[in-house]
């Protein structure tokens, strides 16, 4: 493996010209925030890519050593700000693991609904930005229009539109308002045909396929070596999802739900979807598959939300109240990874008997997902660089923490 | 106009200068208006495609005055020239770009005889001058002193130079059909019903029209071929360092050139100022019926022409807001592997067709199966059949 990699370091050129070092970012329209990428190029061909991170570093881990676990919750919103609910959930589950608590059934179903709604929102942003980075502006507006509706639902439930701080350790701040589930279902009903529109606009578009198929191929071994997770890993054909394969505290949340993990194992997707077929040019692990896996996951999330609403309405139990603000943590440590939209988000909390953690460590999915970028971008054209970056779907808030 | 001024005893040189300035002013107004309407159209159409409303406030419900308001805002902006830029070239570039596009309007006929300068080699002049636009872009990209701008300029050079070839060949096809490079004559030969338009002449010209559309989109740097200013890759390409008024000039140039290629397409393939139904000639609004009638007919013709040009622009806008961008290698491949061979084959096809069936497909069918074709059609059929043994290609071209 090492020898192969070393050989692939050299990019073959028919004609060599003077090399040029270009700085892409941190103020570049398609580096998704403040990522800086240094490109070594020969004409339009990129021979070396070096990502530089840290422009959004806010000492998120250090701050956690000064606050109680419940006070820290708003800071988790700012990690992956496009999926703040999932960040909240990851933190909440980790704290619950440390405290040895479990939430009631009703709370569990609400958490599933909220987390999956936010997964849809996050994947919509990913799909829209992918279109934008390929030069197509319209899908971006369409996906943001749909995301807006999800954000409206969240606003109703917790008052915030970006940084929700809703799924607290031990429970939720307040139950959903009257009629919220009806509006949630109405959203899902009108969202169904929109997915077809997005597929028509991007997935099956000839230019889109030309730009993404067989571009930035991430083989499964390399994906595992680099610690890639989430849709990036699954698009490489690795059937792995912490909602199904994770620790009990994660998987118990989805007990009783029927859904599928979307991964093109053996190059094939589950056949029972009505969406465009895989184009012959596409290779498992390329940008096209990363996009398509997300689009199919959105559908699975919709199934989960529908089931969640049913189960929540059927449950007569009570919603749990969150833990106290100064709830004492036991001595010991807990580490838990949960399946956030962009990959596995891990929190580690070391408690020393007081209310404030002694140490907190955050494992970011985007950090690992961006790490194969230099390998993926070796020898591609400049135009492919943003496309590959967009297909990895990173959020700098999470990488830099 | 110059004659009029001379007749009221104004010196010769002054009269000609004044006439030239007035005509320039008129043309400039047309160029700027077409750009402004194009910008407004782009904003409204893109808004509709994206489920938005677009401008709704400035100038009433439909935001008619948005382009001038945008222009005003841009003029008020701080004028920035980067320290690393070549100051003189950086200043010149936008004007080179705009002047090239503006000069194209000189030879673009809006109606029968309504053209600033009627050139016998009008089609040739138009292509040549429109191609000059890239000098402005390359100059601007090179003089900006920014690597992104340089990339934009290099892409422009590669792309536009490649697409000039099939674009030129598309024009050659029409020139072969008509036997002239005079754009007014090319327009007049398509008079009558819509099946006289070159696009319906035969199957080959129909294909050539679509190749022309592809090349026209590419040569005016519109999506999916907008590589020189690819905002997601090159920040803004050659426009990166430009702001304020200079940027406006590039922008105007882009929209004006959109109008030009759409107008040229309409002129070459879609009958120019001749509507699908020859209302003007049926009503007797032709120069034969007297000056006033001729003038009214021409006015109708101009409306036709402008409507067709804006339809072309709308098509380009629709494309831009629907398709993702191609990659540079795919752009060049599209040109060299598809456009050039297709248009070359079609060129041969058109030559053979006009040798065997000079009148065109529909005309041929009509003259065969319909007893009495309309007189306008008949006269055209006669003229092209009598033209040197039925082969229009043998017509001599008289280049001024």
pLDDT, one tens digit per residue, over A199-247 is 888 888 888 898 888 888 888 898 999 989 989 998 888 888 888 888 8
Contact of B373 with B366, CB cutoff 8 Å: yes
Which residues in B lie closer than 8 A to residue A384 (C-beta atoms)? 327
CA distance B288 to A336: 89
Residue A75 CA to residue A87 CA, distance in Å, equals 9
pLDDT interval class at B382 (50, 70, 90): very low
Q: Which of B49, B231, B327 sits opposite A384 (nearest CB)?
A: B327
Quick check: B50 and A211 CB within 8 A? no
Q: What was the pLDDT predicted at A15?
A: 67
Q: If pLDDT is split at 50, 70 and 90, which confidence band does B373 have?
A: very low
Please say if the pLDDT value at position B95 is more than 50.
yes
Instruction: Name every residue whose Cβ is closer than 8 Å to that of residue B197 and which is 6 or more positions away in sequence.
Output: B190, B269, B270, B271, B274
Q: What percent of chain A is predicted at pLDDT more than 70? A: 95
Distance (Å, whole) CA B262 – CA B211: 13
**pLDDT at res. A122:** 92
Using a 10 angstrom Cβ sphere, with 0-12 exposed, 13-18 middle and 19 or more buried, the burial of residue B245 is middle
B62: closest CA of chain A, how far (Å): 21
Instruction: Judge whether residue A158 has pLDDT over 70.
Output: yes
pLDDT at B71: 83
pLDDT-derived band at B198 (thresholds 50, 70, 90) equals confident
Mean pLDDT (whole number) for A140-151: 91
- Measure the CA–CA gap between B150 and B97, rounded to whole angstroms: 16
**Cα four-point dihedral sign B108, B111, B114, B119:** positive
Question: Residue B68: its pLDDT value, please?
Answer: 85
* Mean local confidence (pLDDT), B315-327: 88
Predicted confidence (pLDDT) at residue B340 exceeds the cutoff of 70 = yes
Task: Give the three-class secondary structure for A49.
Answer: strand
Q: Which residue of B has its CA nearest to A128?
A: B324
Looking at the predicted structure, is the pLDDT value of residue A270 above 80? no
ipTM above 0.90, yes or no: no
H helix runs in A218-372, sequence order: 220-225, 231-235, 242-245, 248-251, 287-314, 365-370
Half-sphere exposure of B303 (CA within 13 A, CB side): 9
A197 to chain B: closest CA residue: B322
Closest-CA residue of A relative to B52 is A141
> Could you say which of B51, B230, B324 has the minimum Cβ distance to residue A131?
B324
pTM: predicted TM-score of the whole model, two decimal places: 0.83
**Contact assessment for residue B236 and residue B269, using Cβ atoms and an 8 Å cutoff:** no
Task: Give mean pLDDT, residues A89-103.
Answer: 89
Round to whole Å and give the CA distance between A235 and A218.
Answer: 9
Nearest partner of B230 among A37, A291, A44, A217, judged by Cα? A44
- Range with top average pLDDT, A47-61, B57-71, B101-115: A47-61
CA distance B298 to B304: 9
What rounded mean pLDDT belongs to chain B? 80
Mean local confidence (pLDDT), B42-70: 85
Q: What is the mean pLDDT of residues B286-295?
A: 71
Residue A385's pLDDT is what? 87
Task: For residue B92, name the pLDDT band (cuts at 50, 70, 90).
Answer: confident
Distance of CA A207 to the CA centre of its chain: 26
**Partners of residue B326 in chain A, C-beta under 8 Å:** 207, 210-211
Cα separation, B185 vs B175, in Å, equals 10
Contact A73, A91 (CB under 8 A): yes
Confidence at residue A349, expressed as pLDDT on a 0 to 100 scale: 92
pLDDT at A10: 58
User: Lowest mean pLDDT: which of A310-324, B137-151, B221-235?
Assistant: B221-235
pLDDT at A398: 87
Both tokens assigned to A62: 């250090």
Where exactly are the structural domains of chain B? 1-56, 77-368
Give the minimum alpha-carbon distance from B319 to chain A in angstroms, rounded to a whole number: 10
Residue B377 pLDDT > 70: no
Angle, helices B122-131 vs B244-269, to 10°: value is: 150
**pLDDT surpasses 60 at A334:** yes
For the CA atoms of B286, B290, B293, B297, the dihedral, rounded to the nearest 10 degrees, stands at 30
Q: What is the pLDDT of residue A6?
A: 41
Asked if pLDDT for residue B216 goes beyond 80, the answer is: yes
Residue B279's pLDDT is 73
* CB pair distance less than 8 Å for B324 and A22: no
């Amino acid at each position: 493996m090492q020898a192969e990699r070393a050989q692939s370091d050299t990019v073959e050129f028919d004609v060599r010209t003077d090399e040029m070092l270009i700085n892409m970012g941190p103020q570049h329209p398609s580096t998704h925030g403040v990522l800086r990428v240094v490109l070594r190029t020969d004409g339009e061909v990129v021979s070396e890519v070096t990502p530089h991170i840290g422009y959004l570093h806010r000492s998120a881990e250090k701050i956690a050593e000064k606050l109680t676990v419940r006070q820290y919750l708003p800071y988790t919103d700012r990690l992956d700000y496009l999926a703040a609910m999932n960040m909240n959930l990851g933190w909440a589950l980790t704290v619950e693991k440390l405290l040895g608590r479990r939430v009631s059934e009703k709370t569990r179903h609400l958490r599933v609904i909220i987390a999956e709604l936010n997964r849809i929102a996050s994947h919509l942003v990913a799909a829209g930005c992918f279109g934008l980075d390929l030069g197509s502006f319209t899908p971006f507006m369409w996906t943001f229009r749909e995301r807006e509706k999800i954000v409206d639902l969240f606003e109703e439930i917790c008052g915030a539109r970006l940084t929700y701080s809703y799924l607290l350790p031990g429970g939720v701040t307040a139950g959903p308002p009257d009629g919220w589930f009806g509006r949630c279902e109405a959203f899902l009903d009108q969202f169904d045909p929109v997915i077809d529109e997005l597929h028509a606009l991007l997935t099956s578009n000839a230019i889109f396929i030309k730009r993404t198929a067989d571009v930035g191929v991430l083989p499964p071994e390399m994906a595992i070596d680099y610690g890639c997770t989430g849709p990036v890993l699954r698009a490489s054909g690795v059937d792995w999802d912490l909602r199904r394969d994770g620790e009990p505290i994660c998987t118990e949340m989805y007990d009783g739900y029927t859904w599928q993990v979307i991964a093109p194992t053996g190059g094939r997707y589950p056949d029972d979807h009505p969406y465009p077929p895989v184009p012959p040019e596409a290779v498992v692990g390329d940008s096209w598959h990363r996009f398509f896996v997300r689009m199919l996951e959105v559908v699975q999330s919709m199934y989960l939300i529908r089931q969640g609403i049913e189960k929540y309405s059927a449950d007569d139990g009570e919603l749990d109240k969150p833990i106290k603000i100064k709830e004492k943590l036991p001595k010991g440590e807990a580490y838990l990874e949960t399946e956030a939209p962009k990959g596995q988000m891990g929190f580690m909390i070391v408690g020393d008997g007081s209310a404030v953690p002694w140490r907190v460590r955050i494992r970011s999915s985007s950090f690992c997902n961006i790490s194969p970028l230099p390998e993926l971008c070796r020898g591609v054209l400049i135009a492919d660089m943003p496309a590959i970056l967009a297909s990895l779907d990173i959020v700098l808030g999470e990488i830099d923490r | 106009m110059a004659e009029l001024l001379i007749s009221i005893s104004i010196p010769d040189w002054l009269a000609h200068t004044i006439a030239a300035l007035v005509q320039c002013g008129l043309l400039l107004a047309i160029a700027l208006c077409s750009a402004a309407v194009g910008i407004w159209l782009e904003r409204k159409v893109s808004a509709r495609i994206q489920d938005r409303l677009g401008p709704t406030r400035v100038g009433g419900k439909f935001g008619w005055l948005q382009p001038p308001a945008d222009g005003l805002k841009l003029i008020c902006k701080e004028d920035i020239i980067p320290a690393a830029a070549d100051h003189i070239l950086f200043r010149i570039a936008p004007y080179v770009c705009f002047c090239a596009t503006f000069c194209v309007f000189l030879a673009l006929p809006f109606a029968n005889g309504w053209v600033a300068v009627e050139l016998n080699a009008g089609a040739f002049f138009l292509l040549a001058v429109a191609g000059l636009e890239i000098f402005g872009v390359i100059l601007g990209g090179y003089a900006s002193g920014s690597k992104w701008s340089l990339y934009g300029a290099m892409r422009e050079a590669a792309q536009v130079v490649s697409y000039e070839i099939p674009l030129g060949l598309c024009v050659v096809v029409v020139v072969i059909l008509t036997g002239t490079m005079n754009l007014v004559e090319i327009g007049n030969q398509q008079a009558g019903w819509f099946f006289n338009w070159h696009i319906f002449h035969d199957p080959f010209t129909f294909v050539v029209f679509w190749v022309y559309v592809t090349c026209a989109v590419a040569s005016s740097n519109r999506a999916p071929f907008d590589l020189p200013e690819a905002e997601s890759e090159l920040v803004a390409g050659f426009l990166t360092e430009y702001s304020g008024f200079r940027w406006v000039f590039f922008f105007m140039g882009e929209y004006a050139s959109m109008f030009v290629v759409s107008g040229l397409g309409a002129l070459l393939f879609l009958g120019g100022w001749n509507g699908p139904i020859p209302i003007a000639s049926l009503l007797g609004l032709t120069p034969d019926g007297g000056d006033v009638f001729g003038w009214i007919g021409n006015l109708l013709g101009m409306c036709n022409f402008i409507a067709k040009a804006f339809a072309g622009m709308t098509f380009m806008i629709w494309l831009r807001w629907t398709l993702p961008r191609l990659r540079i290698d795919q752009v060049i491949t599209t040109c060299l592997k598809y456009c050039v061979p297709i248009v070359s084959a079609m060129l041969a096809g058109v030559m053979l067709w006009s040798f065997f069936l000079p009148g065109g497909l529909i005309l041929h069918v009509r003259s065969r199966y319909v007893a009495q074709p309309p007189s306008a059609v008949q006269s055209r059929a006669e003229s092209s059949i009598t033209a040197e043994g039925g082969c229009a290609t043998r017509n001599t071209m008289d280049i001024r």
